[in-house]
Amino acid sequence: MSLKVKAYAKINLWLDITGRRGDGYHTLNTVMRRVDLYDDITVTPTENDNVTIHCDDPAVPCDERNIVFKAWKLFRGLYGKPFGADIDIRKRIPLEAGLGGSSTDGAAVLSALNELAGMPFSADTLTAAGVKLGADVPFCMTGGTAVCRAIGEEIQPISCADFAVVIVKPEFSCSTGAAYGAYDRTPKPEKPGFAEYVRSISGSADAAAEGLYNVFEELYNDPRIAEIKRELLTAGASGASMTGSGSAVFGIFPILSDAENALGKIGYKTKFAVNAL
């Protein structure tokens, strides 16, 4: 029996680095929200104790470098019994965009393997294990809107007003490692107002849009990111920000039809109009 799942992307409404731990991991204050942009993943159990990975994007490695392989290996270690799988990935989430495209694939596969094995582990157990795959994985397993702290594993679900987004992925990409390296070279003081922003967004999409913040925009100071934000605002977005460590930028719109109408005014090839979930 095969299981087909959707691996949803995320955006960061607020993203700040609050420090660096002794083990090298950076601590964060962030608000993440799931959006209706996703990869399709099909997981099929096999009788052997191996994993095979297929992907329609040739830029995605289909070996031990893929987080999906790491997710299978993590689950196999927890399960303690042979559990082979054939995994097919249909990519829609752009690579190196800050949209969680890798993390969400790993999270979806971890959950799918658990379901196919008969749910031997609770959601809490899998979420706690998922942080070993990456800081965004625990959120990608829970979805919705959440405040995430520490290295991403401290998750507090919150309410947030409904809105739609236009997401733009330019041709250039940003490296997560290089992004954190920029912070290490020039640490930024913690941005004030995080708690106030979290309180403000439950009932107002305008508040969510007005308070958007991403420390990496300051660290990069890249005019190309600023130009995408200007295009989104000119097209009618009430606020715009880079997500994650980039290079994707999103703009907030009241409803999906407004976001869809704005697409024609955006001069970039890779762009999406989707609801925030």
Distance between CA atoms of 108 and 130, rounded to whole angstroms? 10
Question: Which of 187, 165, 199, 166 shows the shortest CA–CA distance to 31?
Answer: 199
The token pair at 176 is 């997560």
Helix (H) or strand (E) holding 132: none
Residues annotated catalytic, as ranges? 10, 136
DSSP 224-249: HHHHHHHHHHHTT-SEEEE-TTSS-E
CA distance 265 to 235: 6
Contact 138, 151 (CB under 8 A): no
Burial of 149 (0-12, 13-18, 19+ CB in 10 A): middle
